[in-house]
Amino acid sequence: MFFRKKKRVFSYKCSDCGDIHKGSPSVYQKRPIHYLNVPKSERDDLTVTSDDLCIIYKTSDKNKEDASYFIRTILEIPITNVEEPMLLGVWVSQSHDSFQKYFETFDDDQSDFSSFGWLHVNQPHYQSFDADGFMTRLGCDVVGQSGGHRPRLYLHDSDHELVFDQRNGISWEKAEKIHKLWIHP
Ligand SMILES: [Zn+2]
């Protein structure tokens, strides 16, 4: 019989604020970066948003065809030898059809919902840009959940560090470093 090492609960004494931060990190971006990039004076006119859904129109005609659609999802990153994974609340873009379907079933069991999305990589530590200076975006599958839980995100294969970390997990030390970047920017 093999001895199985018991997985630990994540906690650490923070070098930034001196507190003990306990429990696997669960952090989120309140709005998509695309929303934050709309000048404040135009947000009332060009955006519709909540903590789960966001529509950004190109112009005040509010044309549905060329608007951008985002939903908030959860990206799990395992922490080595830790029971609970790190949970990142991130926004992914959706086609108009996928967004519509997600919106219409929002209050229902969404375990049948799945869609393709793009994740723009602007999260602390992972943010990156392509050769032309545009924010990297990673293709992903969005998988709906039941019980009112936010959908889970599964990144498609790519050589990006975030994809590697979702597949392989991160060390305790890296989880500390990333958590601090989120809560003490
Ligand atoms: Zn702290």
Q: What is the pLDDT of residues 90-109, one digit of tens each?
A: 999 999 999 999 999 999 99
User: Which of 164, 175, 184 has its CA nearest to residue 8?
Assistant: 175
CA of 175 to the centre of ligand 1 (A): 13
CA of 181 to the centre of ligand 1 (A): 9
Chain segment 131-179, per-residue pLDDT in tens: 899 999 999 999 999 999 999 999 999 999 999 999 999 999 999 999 9
CA of 82 to the centre of ligand 1 (A): 20
The pLDDT assigned to 170 comes to 98
CA of 37 to the centre of ligand 1 (A): 28
CA of 123 to the centre of ligand 1 (A): 18
Cα–Cα dist 29/10, whole Å: 21
- CA 153 from chain center: how many Å? 8
User: Which of 88, 113, 111, 96 has its CA nearest to residue 53?
Assistant: 96
Chain segment 137-148, per-residue pLDDT in tens: 999 999 999 999
Cα–Cα dist 125/152, whole Å: 21
Torsion sign (Cα): 162, 167, 168, 170: positive
User: How are beta strands 53-56 and 47-49 bridged, if at all?
Assistant: antiparallel
The pLDDT assigned to 30 comes to 97
CA of 85 to the centre of ligand 1 (A): 19
Report percent pLDDT > 90 for the chain: 95
- pTM to 2 decimal places: 0.94
CA of 29 to the centre of ligand 1 (A): 18
CA of 116 to the centre of ligand 1 (A): 35
Phi, psi torsion values for 13, nearest 5 degrees: -85, 125
The pLDDT assigned to 1 comes to 52
CA of 63 to the centre of ligand 1 (A): 44
- Which residues have a Cβ under 8 Å from the Cβ of 33 and sit 6 or more positions away? 91, 120, 122, 135
Cα–Cα dist 178/123, whole Å: 9
- CA 1 from chain center: how many Å? 40
The pLDDT assigned to 48 comes to 97
The pLDDT assigned to 6 comes to 79
Parse the chain into domains and list their residue ranges. Answer: 26-183
